[in-house]
Amino acid sequence: MKNTLIFRNTVLETIFHNGQIWFTSAELAKALQYKKADAITQIYTRNSDEFTSCMTRIIETLNLSVSNKSMIYDNLRHKTRIFSLRGAHLIAMFANTPVAKEFRKWCLDILDKAVGEPEYHPESPEVFNGNDLNNLARLVWEMSHGFRFENSWSHGIWSALRQVTGIPSPKPFQTRHIPLIAEECVRIFHLTNRFKDVVADTEKQVIRRVIRQREDADNVISEMNALLEAAAHHTEHTLASTLEKWQQRELTQFLHRGQTT
């Protein structure tokens, strides 16, 4: 059974096998920012003696291919190497990409939270599919993009969405929470829009008044701090501005579970 997780706004497809979360080489390559899945295969091959059977294994998947001419189905068995969370963590130990350290911590965090959790059963509520998660990840990126501490903003937003739905990570979001998540995204969009405006205005003021006109830097910075503090005290009740049209469009697509383009 396939499910999805998110690492740094990247949607990763996972395989739920024998009660555990597993990754294919292609998904690990995507998470670790390698261009090709072969990079993961090479890491494993060089260090295969350090992997146990609970870290990696080969599974067989059944692909159905259809000939356009004859419309005859051919059963093709395809062998795929998969890695558990511990195996993914070990792969990241040997990886040399900038995100490898963060990915290792992410794997351990999921392992800590997953201990003792019950397995997913078919009667469970409908959960997000890959498209739902892609749409939401895009919204989170749009809210956090442009800030200096973009990753911190992103983590904070995901935490807020988890809090408002009551769904702890790494459990998947449920589709019944889509309206609730959309409402929270509207609130956060208002806040991030305002802060981005204040930050942009701060930079313009410093350039004009301090750099060009040589005003006292402390006075100008003090004024800018007051603006930031005022923005921080605004709530959704005082944020009367409407969202940008493209923001409304993205939210509508998420609500209607539309396909990303």
More confident site: 189 or 3: 189
What is the per-residue pLDDT across 39-78, written as a single tens digit (0 to 9) for each?
999 999 999 998 998 899 998 765 544 444 444 444 455 7
What is the per-residue pLDDT across 163-194, written as a single tens digit (0 to 9) for each?
999 988 888 899 888 888 988 998 898 888 88
Judged by average pLDDT, the poorest of 4-13, 27-36, 117-126 is 117-126
Judged by average pLDDT, the poorest of 3-7, 47-51, 74-78, 134-138 is 74-78
Do 18 and 84 contact (CB within 8 A), yes or no?
no
| C-alpha to C-alpha distance for 163 and 133, rounded to whole angstroms | 17
More confident site: 100 or 225: 100
Helices 178-205/130-144 angle, 10° precision: 20
| C-alpha to C-alpha distance for 190 and 162, rounded to whole angstroms | 19
Q: Write down the pLDDT at residue 233.
A: 60
Q: Supply the mean pLDDT for the chain.
A: 81
Residue 7 exposed, middle or buried by CB count within 10 Å (0-12, 13-18, 19+): middle
Q: State percent of the chain over pLDDT 90.
A: 34
Region 75-100: mean pLDDT is 87
Q: State percent of the chain over pLDDT 70.
A: 81
Q: Write down the pLDDT at residue 232.
A: 59
| C-alpha to C-alpha distance for 95 and 29, rounded to whole angstroms | 10
Q: Write down the pLDDT at residue 39.
A: 94
Residue 116 exposed, middle or buried by CB count within 10 Å (0-12, 13-18, 19+): exposed
| C-alpha to C-alpha distance for 161 and 165, rounded to whole angstroms | 6
